[in-house]
A = this chain, B = another copy of it.
Amino acid sequence: MKGNLLYAQSGGVTAVINATAAAVIETARKHRGRIEKVLAARNGIIGALREELVDTYAEDWRSLKGLRHTPGGAFGSCRFKLKSLEADRAHYERLIEVCRAHDVRWLLYNGGNDSADTSLKISQVAEQLDYELGVIGVPKTIDNDLAVTDNCPGFGSVAKYVAVSTLEASFDVAAMAESSTKVFVLEVMGRHAGWIAAAAGLAGRGHHEPPHLILFPEKQFDEADFLARVRETVETVGWCTVVVSEGVRRPDGRFLAESGTVDAFGHSQLGGAGAAVAGLVKDELGLKVHFAVSDYLQRSARHIASATDYYHAWAVGEAAVKYALEGRSGVMPVIKRRANRPYRWEIAEAPLSLVANHEKTVPPDYFREDGYGISSKARRYLEPLIQGEAYPEYRDGLPHYVKLRNRLVRKRLGEYDV
């Protein structure tokens, strides 16, 4: 089999998804006898449907080298979920049509749960339409909620960012607490799974080290109990660091963050779990409180990327090309852990059907007994993932990140509305 390889990014981007992209491109280039070109879909599957395909070989080698250390998604990503084969039949068939028109024989789809599902369906449609196409899912998500794989590329770096930030801000509040701020709240991502919040737990050990209290989406929020613990921490430690996952819910099922209101000017007062928790602490305990919302900063913080995560991201990209050339389809390279300390891992092949649509939340024995922290088991799991600093190169005080030219190849099909 000879032809082109199409790579696409999907969903929220990460600090290291471009490392995966770089690995795909660089590995494919070593097999130019079989892989003629690596095309990249502009803005993920949307670009594939619109036939907006970037010719990655038109980039100069310096840019491709810089890609390894550049955050974001270099070709654009998307939030666009293909529905069932029945509901979105036209889209699936269009994808095959685009692949056929550009002699795409391998599709590498770099994303999370939804993307694994989409990849699986595309491979089925290709088979039905008798078009030979190897479809490989490539794992990526800061949420760390993919099944089968030990961890997800992108997570280790956000974990490192969150642990480092929690540690640093805690040094700050500790210095201010005597006469000023007594409680610091950090809001982190994670709508359904508390992996990122759990990573903050690496900043300290035990009840008396920050973060003193972590609020997980897996645990129901008990306002009175939480406030009592904040008060107790401030009384014993002198101050308190709280990490709250955006996905924490009240007993009635509503997100803490859903308490958005309208301000004096009639505008939406965009809330968030961090603001909600800080408001509670201020009102109910009368303590001076500060809160930070790390939002996109946490997942784009390439400057503090975990070297382990970077190696993972590279390895899944490299393995995906290898699987493609071996004629595999409907599979995903996943990370298998061999040992914790020193951390040893390898890449293994997993069927996409086991990955698609599953969601791995934090298991019960990863929580501290009181539910407001992480257990030693969680620590053993998380610690290896933040090891090492994969610093980018700097120029004039700033990381030297690259923007690709993203030159599109000439279209061969008619317009298609997405």
Chain A contact residues, CB within 8 Å of chain B = 9, 12-13, 15, 43-44, 46, 70-74, 76-80, 160, 163-165, 167-180, 184, 186, 202-203, 259-265, 267-272, 274-276, 278-280, 282-284, 289-297, 299-304, 306, 383, 386-389, 391, 394, 396-399, 401
Contacts and interface: CB of A to CB of B under 8 A. Distances in A.
Most buried by B among A12, A279, A299: A279
B290 A292 contact: no
A88 to B, nearest CB: 15
Given A293-B293, A387-B396, A13 B172 contact: yes
A297 B176 contact: no
A53 B270 CA distance: 45
A221 to B, nearest CB: 12
Contact of A295 (B72, B290, B296): B290
Contacts of A291: 270, 293, 295
B168 A300 contact: yes
Contacts of A12: 176
A215 to B, nearest CB: 15
A271 B263 contact: yes
Contact of A172 (B46, B72, B80): B72
A399 B163 CA distance: 10
Given A77-B176, A79-B179, A275-B275, 10 more contacts: A13-B172, A72-B171, A76-B177, A259-B263, A261-B263, A269-B279, A293-B293, A306-B397, A383-B396, A387-B396
Nearest to A382: B397
A398 B264 contact: no
11 contacts: A73-B175, A73-B176, A76-B174, A76-B175, A77-B175, A78-B178, A79-B180, A167-B398, A172-B299, A261-B262, A292-B297
A268 B297 contact: no
